[in-house]
Amino acid sequence: MNALALLRSLFAYQAWANDELLEKLASLDPHVHGKERQAVIGLIDHSHVVSRIFSAHLVDASHGYSADTTEDTPAFDELRAAVAATDRWYLDYLETVSSRQLSESVAFVFTDGH
């Protein structure tokens, strides 16, 4: 399996896993598991922001984030839609990226300035 095929497989699996995780999280009663549910939503928000930052670096674009999480954690449905859109972005990107581009270094600065 070449690198591009492997990446496509891994990102397809990530999209599936994100969807399954968010589906299970949606089924948790927020009144019974509110604290735990909110903690998981915060972790997913962090993961999503990092994915968006990295996707911007891949196409040499500004990402607009100053931290690795949002200031205000988005509502669950909003976050779920954003995660799905980001997963779709990566899958679409892998359909257009060249092998040469995959071998290039990606310059970036961490959101904390280091």
Question: pTM value?
Answer: 0.89
The torsion region of residue 60 among left (phi > 0), alpha (psi -120 to 50) and beta comes to left
Closest by alpha carbon to 40, among 54, 58, 27, 53? 27
**pLDDT, position 51:** 95
Q: State residue 46's pLDDT score.
A: 94
Length of the chain: 114
pLDDT at 93: 96
Q: Kindly report, residue by residue over 25-47, the tens digit of the pLDDT.
A: 999 998 999 999 999 999 999 99
Do 7 and 94 form a contact (C-beta atoms < 8 A)?
Answer: yes
Count of C-beta atoms within a 10 Å radius of residue 24: 10
Q: Can you tell me the distance from the alpha carbon of 64 to that of 7, in angstroms, rounded to the nearest whole number? A: 26
d(CA 110, CA 94): 24
The pLDDT of residue 12: 98
Higher pLDDT, 111 or 39: 39
Tell me which residue of 5, 3, 1, 37 sits closest to 21, measured CA to CA: 37
Query: What pLDDT, on the 0 to 100 scale, is given for residue 113?
Result: 56
- The 10s digit of each residue's pLDDT in 56-108 is 999 988 888 888 888 898 999 999 999 999 999 999 999 999 888 888 888 77
